[in-house]
Amino acid sequence: MNIIRTEIEEVVIIEPRVFEDERGYFFESFSQREFDEKVRPVKFVQDNESKSSYGVLRGLHFQKDGHAQSKLVRVVKGAVLDVAVDIRKGSPTFGKYVAVELSAENHRQLFVPRGFAHGFSVLTPEVVFQYKCDNFYCRDSEGAVAWNDPQLAIDWRIPADKIILSEKDRLNKTIAEADYLFDYSKNLYE
């Protein structure tokens, strides 16, 4: 596994070693030992999968309090623009984000640590998106930041009139208005 560091130290892109021949390809999509050594020790406890069509934008979501989650995300069909936003008050990278294209072709994965909001926009006709989480989902701990927050100014690579949102995501507050943000001085992994 090749680790690509980003502008935000804790957010990393992971490229697997892909072995291809006339039959197709093979790669190891996850190794706990290698992940712990090269990224950080994390115990994933839940795998999720979603299917979406072009223009769908999911995010920017997170889990609050003791339900904060790290995510390891990847695409198995199609392509997305995947985004991780630092929402840790006091962080030197607060309000900054990493955006990376994840696709079935490039096999890249993105590690989104606790303390970050996460979202993606679908760039192809259909996407199958998978993510590993290191904490169980809790409906009462849902949090979100507006996808179109002008302070963040994320280019989702889809025209605004083509973006498809859930009703819930239409109502998310900006980072400046958010009811809940993480505290950078607290260890979110304890």
Radius of gyration, alpha carbons of the chain: 16
In a domain, 27, yes or no: no
Domain CATH for 119: 2.60.120.10
> Tokens 């980072």 sit at which residue?
175
In a domain, 82, yes or no: yes
Ranges of the chain whose pLDDT falls below 50: none
What is the torsional sign of CA 114, 102, 159, 56? negative
pLDDT at position 28: 87
Which of 25, 54, 61, 97 is catalytic? The answer is 61
In a domain, 189, yes or no: no
Query: How far is CA 143 from its chain centroid?
Result: 14
Q: From edge to edge, which strands make up the β-sheet containing 71-77?
A: 2-5, 12-15, 109-112, 71-77, 126-133, 46-53
In a domain, 5, yes or no: no
Largest CA distance in the chain: 54
Is-catalytic flag, 131? yes
pLDDT at position 65: 84
In a domain, 156, yes or no: yes
Is-catalytic flag, 67? no
Q: What is the pLDDT of residues 47-72, one digit of tens each?
A: 999 999 999 999 999 999 899 999 99
In a domain, 120, yes or no: yes
In a domain, 115, yes or no: yes
Q: Which of 166, 59, 172, 165 is nearest to 118 (CA)?
A: 59
Confidence (pTM): 0.95
In a domain, 151, yes or no: yes
Residues 152 and 175 sit within 8 Å (Cβ to Cβ): yes
Nearby residues of 158 by Cβ (< 8 Å), 6 or more positions away: 54, 55, 57, 121, 122, 123
What range defines the domain where residue 85 resides? 45-183
Number of structural domains in the chain? 1
Which of 97, 107, 118, 131 is catalytic? The answer is 131
pLDDT at position 36: 95
Nearby residues of 145 by Cβ (< 8 Å), 6 or more positions away: 60, 62, 85, 87, 117, 152, 172, 173, 174, 175, 178
